[in-house]
Chain A
């Protein structure tokens, strides 16, 4: 119990049950990452004051460079903080159960559809719509891409290398990242400086 005292000083304690219910609610949030983030901020920062706003933003910042998806990383971070390794299992399970169950259910629905005449209708309904949604996802990723910039050059090269030379996308992705480490860090500095100036 003494070891809890140290944690309590940093903020309110969150029990395992609460951890489960918070992340279950987050897992039921629509709108992808930002929807989940909004629930977590409300529960952990505003309602329970278990973490400060600064801590919340810092942990989000770290989560973004974790190669698993930011929200999965946040479940690990808060699960670990409030319940150790067992807490991570609780938070991950709560966050993932809704999406996992729904995904599997809808996949099973696909298998049933396959044997009906409805299946012939997918190519004129769901499939082109899905393709449009992929385009939307790409457009959202690239705010900097769609103006004359180094980003635009890299994106166009990746497009051409994948489509016309049929190079492996995994390879292109690694090269693009490595290139970015050299070429794009300077650009970020400039935009940082601009932000600072406008901040004044």
Chain B
């Protein structure tokens, strides 16, 4: 599992929600593709592919944040500012698809939802904010840096709000006969503050750092790149300013000030939306356990808590005391957002330096364990992703039942089983699909130990932590009370938690099987056969290919920096370094995309890609396909 923020896994949203969001995303993709095609012509395919690969790699960057924590950004602010909203929608959608299909990060059924939140809403909000705030400021002005920071911050928060709303409507709409929620179990009143807490603070800050840092870097090195999204800027100083220390990059103090301002402003902005939804849920729920809301707050975020790893260790410290006296704040739902965000940040301000100070004492006591800097962590993360992908390719090249299967049969077959796993309403049917997954894994020589470590335990730790509070929070018949505390465990709560965990486990198992047994090149062939738009197939192929090049380039960059850094960097220097690395990578992205386009032209490319169809389905393949689809249909029927 990769440390990305906010990727909704399989099993959290109902199939109808996923379908609705994918349908909502479709017109945006269509318009984006048409607009970008007419603007870029033949350059479309290489540019979008390389930018998607760039976005993918940027998401791996560890960004140093104030207080010694680090976080990951989605990079939608950066993409929207450099590429404009439409190309950014395409590039980020492709990056998200590759993450879901190859790294199991974000669900396969939730691709539409994730693209809608992050690629579409994120790009449009980021772009709008940037244009509005930067207005007619000069390309090299400090105002553009601030506008970029605000754009990134707002974009990720609005995207997180969308995800929170999607989670929050699940228990309203989808329950089994006993009244237990079938998907994400928390109502809007809990889902919204829980998601927003982490995003208003650390995830938002990571996005702010990367967006403002990149713009500051581009102003210094290649201001022409900012021109495309700044038509109103005075046509002035596009000459490269002399290199030197860039004073415009926000220092730690400025970041804190900016964050304070944003914390006060942004929640106010979402109140209107939040309280409207809140009312709706209040009508449906008479939730006796409001006091537990904040306890879930720091955990109920899609992927590893709120991007920052540093928060992981912090959250356990500060959520505990809050759970006792938070309810009085939160009961007035609107006030709750503001307070929880501010309390969260306040505690980070106090705790993080303290923790840093404590950790700084450690190396003396345990010389073997040096604390890792963000440079080292990023280099390590980049290497891990590469190795994970190469490992999957090696597994896929081995022999086994699934490996031998025609890629089309496998794609539809496993896809049908995943949809069935997300659709069924009975636990035993879900368990049956999981068992089928295990049988398929055994037949394909995939070690169960690998599945246990990389899928089952990882999903249990993550989804389990999210599902646990639901056994108390879900209204229903009490089956047991916790001694002393008196909290009631409800029957519906237990069922709901079981649904969430089992669904997430089953879907993750199946998609891991797909990843580990399918060669990418064969999967692309399969997509061609399905008449998937040829442009998309070409872009996916090229993105995956250049992802490796950029992962290696970024790793080299961080490793060479690491070897040259002597002593400890000041926090603002670390942020500058991270943003500058992203900037260098962006420069490389654009250069390589230009050259790739030439290389394609040199071999006769005129903007329309042509591919060779050569896979024929054999009668046996049809039989196997029928078996898969039959099993999935049977499951849906039994589990209806």
Asked if A and B bind, the verdict is: no
The residues of A with any CB-CB pair to B shorter than 8 Å are: none
